[in-house]
């Protein structure tokens, strides 16, 4: 798989940027940036899923967005920030093309194709965060879990991936017992299999029938903006 932003670049644009990118492998739980610490790299994921978190003063955290091969980790740098109070780590292991921040600032300029793409991607991420905020307030845990499972499967392009109850609780902002109860409901309905931190989606259409409209809204907006509409 390859990063969808880089995949639509013109050959000459990609060739111009390629010397400043390194292939890196991203491990489960690997931290890409920490709260109020300088961001050193941006990452264009080819495979895997990164989680963007808001962290409270007591150390508790909740996911506000995810990034897969459709986007870039390190968007604050594009917007002119060197650090933010949030955190980003890898929730599904994978790989990425990594670029140092100084190289990114030098070569991704307002007259470049990638800069224009990232402007639209910024809007898609804002849309995702806004939709997730509404979803967390208005929709059930079961609907939100289905949305999250579908989005993750889309990013890794497989129906089987690793995910612990601890991480799902962070993603959904609930305790592990609530995660366990809702996963059990989905499993008894024959929609998923969940065992020892491994999830397999058995009935994708069934999950789509349960999840809220947020899943389709986020997907449709990404496709629209990536196509420049």
- Count of CB atoms situated within 10 Å of the CB of 135: 22
pLDDT at 229: 60
pLDDT at 10: 94
Do residues 171 and 148 lie in contact, with contact meaning Cβ atoms separated by under 8 Å?
Answer: yes
pLDDT at 1: 66
Do residues 202 and 193 lie in contact, with contact meaning Cβ atoms separated by under 8 Å?
Answer: yes
Do residues 154 and 202 lie in contact, with contact meaning Cβ atoms separated by under 8 Å?
Answer: no
Closest CA to 17 of 25, 26, 7, 29: 7
Q: Do domains 4-111 and 140-211 have the same CATH topology?
A: no
Concatenated DSSP letters of 141-160: HHHHHHHHHHHHHHHHTSSE
pLDDT at 219: 83
Separation of alpha carbons 207 and 123, rounded Å: 27
Class of domain 4-111: mainly beta
Per-residue pLDDT of the chain (229 residues; tens, 9 = 90+): 689 999 999 999 999 999 999 999 999 889 999 999 999 999 999 999 999 988 888 877 778 888 999 999 999 999 999 998 889 999 889 999 999 999 999 999 998 999 999 999 998 888 888 888 888 788 888 898 898 899 888 888 889 988 888 878 877 778 888 888 888 899 999 999 988 788 999 999 999 999 988 888 888 877 777 776 6
| Domain spans of the chain, in order of start | 4-111, 140-211
The CA distances from residue 92 to 46, 156, 163, in Å, are 12, 8, 7
- Count of CB atoms situated within 10 Å of the CB of 68: 23
Which CATH entry fits the domain spanning 140-211: 1.10.10.10, 2.60.120.620, 1.10.3720.10, 3.30.565.10?
1.10.10.10
In whole angstroms, how large is the CA radius of gyration of the chain? 18
pLDDT at 75: 94
Separation of alpha carbons 138 and 128, rounded Å: 15
Model-level pTM? 0.88
Q: What phi, psi does 139 have (nearest 5°)? A: -115, 155
């Amino acid at each position: 798989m390859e990063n969808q932003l880089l995949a639509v670049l013109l050959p000459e644009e990609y060739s111009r940027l390629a010397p400043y990118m390194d292939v890196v492998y991203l491990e489960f739980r690997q931290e890409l940036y920490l709260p109020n610490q300088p961001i050193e790299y941006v990452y264009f994921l080819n495979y895997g899923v990164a989680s963007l978190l808001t962290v409270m003063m007591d150390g508790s955290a909740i996911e506000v967005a995810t990034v897969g091969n459709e986007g870039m980790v390190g968007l604050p740098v594009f917007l002119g920030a060197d650090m933010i109070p949030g955190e980003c780590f890898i929730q599904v292991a994978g790989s990425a093309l990594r670029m140092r921040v100084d190289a990114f600032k030098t070569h991704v300029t307002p007259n470049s194709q990638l800069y224009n793409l990232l402007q639209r991607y910024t809007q898609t991420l804002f849309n995702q965060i806004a939709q997730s905020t509404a979803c967390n307030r208005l929709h059930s845990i079961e609907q939100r879990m289905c949305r999250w499972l579908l989005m993750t499967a889309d990013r890794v392009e497989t129906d089987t991936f690793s995910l612990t109850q601890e991480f799902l609780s962070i993603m959904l902002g609930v305790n592990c017992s609530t995660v366990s109860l809702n996963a059990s409901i989905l499993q008894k309905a024959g929609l998923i299999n969940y065992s020892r931190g491994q999830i397999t989606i058995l009935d994708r259409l069934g999950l789509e029938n349960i999840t809220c409209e947020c899943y389709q809204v986020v997907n449709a907006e990404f496709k629209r903006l990536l196509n420049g509409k």
